[in-house]
Structure 1
Amino acid sequence: MNWDVVKGNWSQLKGQVQSEWGKLTDDEVAQAEGDKDKLVGLIQEKYGYAKDEAEQKLDAFFKKAS
C-alpha cells in the first residue's frame, strides 16, 4: 500500500495498527498519523526490532491490509 494512501486513510487504519501491535498506546498510534518513520520507530522501541525488521513487518502488514 502506498504511504500517501495510508496517511489519507489513517483514521480507518489506526485501529488495525493498534490490533496488530498491541503494545502501542492509542495516543502513540494517533500521533504517528500514518507516518512510516514514526511507526517504524515506535515498533522498534516497543518490540525491540531492528529498523529493517520493523519496516518489513510494517510493509507486510499494510500489503495484507490493502
Structure 2
Amino acid sequence: MNSDVIKGKWKQLNGRIKERWGNLTDDDVDVAEGHSEYLVGKLQERYGWSKEKAQEELRDFSGKL
C-alpha cells in the first residue's frame, strides 16, 4: 500500500494501529499521519525494537490491509 493511499485512509487506520501497537500514544499515531518513517521511529522507541524489526512489523501490518 503506497503512502498516498495510507494518508487517504488514515482515520480508518488510526484505530487499527492503536489496537495492534497499544504502546503508541494517540499523539504518536496522530503525528505519524501516514509517514511510515516516523511510525517506524516511534515503534523503535516504544518497543525497543531495531529499525529492521520495526520496519518488518509495519510491512506485516500494511500487508494485511
> Structure 1: which 5+ runs fail to align?
none
Q: Which residue of 2 aligns with 1:12?
A: 12
How much identity, in percent, do the aligned residues show? 49
Equivalent pairs counted in the alignment come to 65
Structure 2 length as normaliser, TM-score? 0.93
- The ranges of structure 1 where at least 4 consecutive aligned residues each deviate by more than 4 angstroms after the TM superposition are none
Distance in 2 (CA, whole Å) between partners of 1:57 and 1:3 is 16
Q: Deviations over 1:1-46 (max 9, x none)?
A: 2222111111110110000000001111011111001100000000
What is the letter of the counterpart of residue 17 of structure 1? Answer: I
Distance in 2 (CA, whole Å) between partners of 1:18 and 1:30 is 10
Partner of 2:14, secondary structure, is helix
> Structure 2: which 5+ runs fail to align?
none
What is the letter of the counterpart of residue 42 of structure 2? Answer: L
Q: Which residue of 2 aligns with 1:50?
A: 50
